[in-house]
Amino acid sequence: MNATTFQELPLDERLSAWLDDELAPDQRAEVDTWLRDHAEDAARVRLWAADRDALRARLEPAAGESVPTRLEQVVWSHAPDTATAGWMRWAAAAAIFVLGGALGAGATWRLLEETRVPVAGARWEQRAIAAHAVYVPEVRHPVEVSVHGATPQESRAQEEHLVRWLTRRIDRPVKLFDLRSHGYELVGGRLLPDTQGAWAQLMYQKSGETSPQRVTVYLRKPDSATPAAFRYERHGELGMFYWVEGSTGYALVGAMPRDELMALAESIYRQIPN
């Protein structure tokens, strides 16, 4: 988008592109200023954001469902069990998921079984990473229920509301962990949809920085396959600790070194009521 024509675009298009984070920094700053001065437009954009969140909440579970065998079979139909030299060269060159050359159909099926879980993205810990990536960059709507109140009393009431709401919806006790000794303040929480039932996301941020460092904590009913032991995984810049305690699965996700994340995870672990 070039800057001279930007102002000529209809206002709604500029606001909409702002919401989708499609603007160059100067255009973005321009819209920021506009929204500060025009409360009605800001309210309209908030409604659009709420509609977007509602659409996601309504339709997201469809991606978490297990894939019907019928569709997997479509992908494996006429599988290369009669391998030609041509495709084998292609496979070797592609070097993306090169899974070995001349697999027979039987071997292909076994392979499918093994790779099924990561392919479908079914593990809840993995989805915690995805949810972190979606909501942490949100400037205006990082959480559904904020614990920020005008007065300490109001904040406390919001916290109580958040605990009651999440506890009821995920059907297990939710505790708002106190991470202030590490410099992290609770921002609030949101409910995430899933085929296995809802789960809770709590967001914390380190204040006093221009772009605040945020971490997210997840609570939900664990998959039967989730090991109870403390586990650590790294996905690009994001690190994640996850474990099961009692009837609840916990995960902590943040873009920070392992040691720092570990300190937060331990703090949370110590605060889990027995």
Q: Which stretches of the chain bind another protein, using CB under 8 A? A: 9-10, 12-13, 15-17, 20, 22, 40, 44, 47-48, 51-52, 54-56, 58-65, 67-68, 70-72, 74-80, 84, 86-88, 90-91, 94, 96-99, 103, 108, 111-112, 115, 119-121, 134, 169, 193, 195, 198
- What is the closest distance, in whole angstroms, from the C-beta atom of residue 88 to another protein in the complex? 8
Rounded distance between C-alpha atoms, residue 222 and residue 82, angstroms: 42
- What is the closest distance, in whole angstroms, from the C-beta atom of residue 72 to another protein in the complex? 7
Closer residue to another protein (CB): 137 or 246? 137
Tally Cβ neighbours within 10 Å of residue 53: 15
Element (H, E) at 219: strand 213-220
Element (H, E) at 157: helix 152-170
Rounded distance between C-alpha atoms, residue 159 and residue 11, angstroms: 37
CA distances from residue 46 to 49, 50, 102, 175, 177 in whole angstroms, order as listed: 5, 6, 55, 29, 29
Closer residue to another protein (CB): 54 or 228? 54
- What is the closest distance, in whole angstroms, from the C-beta atom of residue 60 to another protein in the complex? 7
- What is the closest distance, in whole angstroms, from the C-beta atom of residue 199 to another protein in the complex? 12
Closer residue to another protein (CB): 22 or 32? 22
* Residue 15: closest CA among 40, 33, 41, 38: 41
- What is the closest distance, in whole angstroms, from the C-beta atom of residue 177 to another protein in the complex? 25
